[in-house]
Structure formats: structure tokens, C-alpha cells
Amino acid sequence: MPTDSKSEWYEQGLHFSCTQSGNCCTGSQGYVWFEEDEGQAMADFLGITLFDFLSQYTRSELGKRTLNETRNALGEYDCVFLKADEQGKRGCSLYNARPHQCRTWPFWPENMVSPQAWEDAARRCPGMANSLKGQGKFYPIEDIRITRDSHD
């Protein structure tokens, strides 16, 4: 993880606004970690108990809880909460209750390593692609550091 100012290529801050494409919620197999209070918030959003939420939508990995995934027609792994609306547009079905890990995208350490890493991730993320054009909400470096360093 970059901690010295030389490696912080985003010293002038970055623009980013989520377009809710859902593209960061699919791909290769992965983990969406969450804390118990976040599990409770998701369960409340769905109107079910925490016990039912954990049984139906999560699994245990590496001593922690992660959201389940489903295989889509392309063979990719979708987060269990990635759903299509009537128009076929895919997005998070519990966006306002999504866990911290999802809220901190795209300021994850692996995307912050270099401008190239950011550009690589932007190929799948329209919000990051807009960022390359200077579009979206502005985040100063202090905010980016806090978000980057709060990521699991």
C-alpha cells in the first residue's frame, strides 16, 4: 500500500461518482466482507432477521463472513445482491444498505498503486472512466487516504 507522498500520484485529488453500473459487483470469484452491524443493516433493509440473512446470503471464509455469489450466463461471479431491473439494468439491490467495502470503491489500495492500476480498473468501471476525464465528485487526497486505509 502506498504510504509515502511520492507514490501518491493522486496528490491533487481525484474525481469520482458512482454510476451504479454494477460492474464492480461481478467478475472473478471474490469476497465482500462485512461487519455484524452491516449484516444487521442489510437484514433490516430486506426485512428479515440477522440469522436468516446470514443463512441465506452469506458464507464463512477465512474466519469472516462474506456475501454469497452466483454464476451468471458469462460464467462470472455476481454478488448475490446484484440484480437487474425491469429494463435489464443491473445494480445493487440494497445500494443504501451496502457494506463499507462497497462504499469505499474505487479507492481500494490495489487501484491506488499507480495511475496504470486506476486506468486498468476504469476499463470496467464507467465512474472511474469518467474520473479520467475529470468528471464526478471531487475527493481531496486527505479523504482518499482515509478511504484507502479503511479498506480491508
- One-letter-per-residue 3-state SS of 36-83: HHHHHHHHHHHCCCHHHHHHHHEEEECCEEEECEEECCCCCEEECCEE
Determine contact, residues 127/19, Cβ cutoff 8 Å: yes
Position 81 contacts ligand SF4 (CB under 6 A): yes
Of the residues 82, 112, 125, 144, which one makes contact with ligand SF4 according to CB under 6 A = 82
Total residues interacting with ligand SF4, rule: CB under 6 A: 9
122-151: contacts with ligand SF4 (CB under 6 A): none
Question: Between residues 14 and 125, which has the closer beta carbon with respect to ligand SF4?
Answer: 125
Q: What angle do CA 40, 88, 47 make, to 5 degrees?
A: 20
Position 25 contacts ligand SF4 (CB under 6 A): yes
Q: How far is the CB of 81 from ligand SF4 (least distance, A)?
A: 4
Q: How far is the CB of 55 from ligand SF4 (least distance, A)?
A: 17
